[in-house]
Amino acid sequence: MSRTLTKKIIDIGGVHLNGRRVRQCGLKVAVGDKVEIFIDGFSLKYFRITEDAVLYQDKYIIAINKPSLIESQPTPARYKGTIYEALLLWLQDPFRPQLKPSLGMVQRLDRDTSGVMVFSVHPHSHKSLTDIFTTRQVRKSYLALISGCPDKKMGEFESLLAKNRATNKIKSVSKGGKLATTKYKIINQFDDCALVEVHIPTGRTHQIRVHFAEAGHPLVGDTKYGYHETMLKFPVQRTMLHSWQLEFLHPVTKKNIQLVAPVAHDMYQVLLFLGWDNDNISTN
């Protein structure tokens, strides 16, 4: 491993010394110290928020259109280059750099998933905003490109979901899981796949991906839950899932907030390739 690569891994937070993340080179280690190097295999470039990614911002909350292929929050392998870290930089007051922004996560999107993400940016709004999400006072709408096409134009999946420790996947179980409800409506049917609008009253990990996979329609690009490249005639780089719309009452002002995230460019290009000609879904 080269010195340049090692420095980059340290810079993004991928080296831990005795269980604690190390953010500087040249630290001395002693006999018995435990050094761990985490490499996630993704780009070592930092991610930065730009103004066009911000969907809404006031003194209490901020909403962004998350790009695909970016982690939502720090992981053992990566501290920098995440949405969370990029937002900290975006919110930093240049005239008071010693003050760390009060940024709170209330939801998470998978690395592959693009679209609306909301954060609290004030101590007085974090608990209230968190409660809105945990008590399901938010309407969530996703766009998903699924392989094949369901028989019904509209439908609903409901099951108990739990994690299989052996495979590290989520699956439906008969007991002991958490209730998940997924409602869908077909927007457009193509030759080998379909674009669906999905509403999730619940917010379980991977629930959209699992429910469609178990119904025989894994999301396009979702190799973890059964999608195979041979299913379609074109290659995709990630799971075709987009957090499209969020609607909720502002945690402080109580006004109705409606957020819509333009579809990510890569997903839009796939839709155009399939023959999509509807302008109701905008792209960034």
CA-nearest of 72, 69, 115 to 236 is 69
Sign of CA dihedral 206, 76, 237, 283: positive
Contacts of 207 (CB under 8 A, 6+ apart): 161, 170, 180, 182, 200
Contacts of 89 (CB under 8 A, 6+ apart): 48, 49
Whether the Cβ atoms of residue 220 and residue 273 lie closer than 8 Å to each other:
no
Which of 11, 40, 93, 110 is the catalytic position? Answer: 110
CA distance 233 to 238: 15
Alpha carbon 129 to chain centroid, angstroms: 18
Cα–Cα separations (whole angstroms), residue 95 to 57, 67, 78, 98: 20, 29, 28, 9
Contacts of 57 (CB under 8 A, 6+ apart): 63, 121
CA distance 238 to 112: 6
11 tagged catalytic:
no
| Backbone phi, psi, residue 99, to 5° | -90, 120
Q: Is 61 helix (H, G, I), strand (E, B) or coil?
A: strand
Which residues does the annotation mark as catalytic?
Answer: 110
